[in-house]
């Protein structure tokens, strides 16, 4: 049996074919996950109440058995588990150690030198200058403003002469200290002549002999003292 189409019917058939082709292409344009999800939803086995039937393992049951389909209603895509970030550990900072402030201490510096002068002289010996330099270094940092200096002489000669000689010797010592930076007003000087000998009575006998002069050298001395506080080194 032959079926014939007129021109109008043939145009209508072509139009229908085109429409069906577009619809088929749109269906094919869906993502694979969407198509599989729709198939899974249509294949789910439900009870009379409309709820999805599950087996003893809690799996949704489809017409072909428990077959997980990613993206489906009963088989959603796995969700990445939350991983807590590592706890923050502050970097180690070494404690700052503050050194304790030095404490002031009381100190006293005494010089009783009998190597400063020769017999019947008030000029410093070279060894005497070295001794006074050591004294100046030893009082650095002291807050005192007073230095006591007392000059002495041996017993050879008159009392008056020896008194003047002892004063002349202590004046020489004061002048030297001032030349080293000591304030002149700090030095309180005086002379005691032969009144306070270092040698014991009855020793160094003789009247001006060389041996007696050498024996009396300890009496030709100057006593210097400075006391005060300074920071402990």
Residues 221 and 186 sit within 8 Å (Cβ to Cβ): no
Average pLDDT for 13-31: 44
Residue 3 lies in a domain: no
- Between 20-29, 72-81, 117-126, the lowest mean confidence (pLDDT) is in 20-29
Q: How far apart are CA 110 and CA 127, in angstroms?
A: 17
Is residue 68 predicted with pLDDT exceeding 70?
Answer: no
Q: Are residues 65 and 111 in the same domain?
A: no
Q: Are residues 43 and 155 in the same domain?
A: no
User: Could you tell me the two tokens for 169?
Assistant: 């010797």
Q: Are residues 137 and 210 in the same domain?
A: yes
Higher-confidence position of 179 and 143: 179
Q: Are residues 56 and 17 in the same domain?
A: yes
Determine the pLDDT at residue 152: 95
Range of the domain at 66: 8-75
Residue 61 lies in a domain: yes
Buried-state track 110-144, b at ≥16 Cβ within 10 A, e below 16: ebebbbbbeeeebebeeebeebbeebbeebeebeb
Average pLDDT for 177-202: 91
pTM for the model stands at 0.55
Q: Are residues 110 and 67 in the same domain?
A: no
Q: Please state the domain count of the chain.
A: 2
Confidence label for 40 from pLDDT (cuts 50, 70 and 90): very low
Residue 176's domain is classified under what CATH number?
Answer: 3.30.1330.60
Residues 229 and 107 sit within 8 Å (Cβ to Cβ): yes
Greatest mean pLDDT range, 41-50, 92-101, 152-161: 152-161
Tell me the three state secondary structure of residue 168: helix
Is residue 9 predicted with pLDDT exceeding 50?
Answer: no
């Amino acid at each position: 049996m032959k079926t014939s189409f007129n021109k109008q019917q043939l145009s209508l058939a072509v139009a229908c074919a085109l429409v069906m082709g577009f619809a088929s292409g749109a269906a094919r344009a869906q993502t694979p996950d969407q198509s599989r999800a729709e198939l899974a939803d249509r294949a789910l086995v439900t009870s009379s109440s409309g709820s999805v039937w599950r087996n003893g393992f809690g799996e949704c049951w489809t017409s072909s058995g428990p077959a997980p389909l990613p993206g489906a209603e009963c088989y959603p895509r796995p969700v990445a588990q939350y991983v807590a970030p590592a706890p923050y550990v502050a970097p180690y900072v070494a404690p700052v150690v503050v050194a304790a402030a030095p404490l002031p201490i009381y100190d006293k510096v005494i010089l009783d030198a009998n190597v400063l002068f020769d017999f019947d002289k008030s000029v410093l010996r070279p060894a005497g200058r070295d001794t006074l330099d050591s004294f100046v270094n030893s009082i650095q940092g002291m807050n005192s403003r007073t230095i006591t200096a007392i000059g002495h002489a041996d017993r050879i000669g008159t009392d008056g002469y020896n008194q003047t000689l002892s004063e002349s010797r202590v004046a020489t010592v004061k002048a030297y200290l001032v030349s080293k930076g000591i304030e002149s007003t700090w030095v309180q000087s005086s002379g005691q002549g032969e009144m306070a000998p270092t040698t014991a009575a009855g020793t160094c006998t003789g009247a001006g002999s060389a041996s007696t002069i050498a024996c009396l050298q300890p009496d030709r001395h100057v006593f210097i003292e400075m006391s005060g506080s300074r920071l402990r080194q």
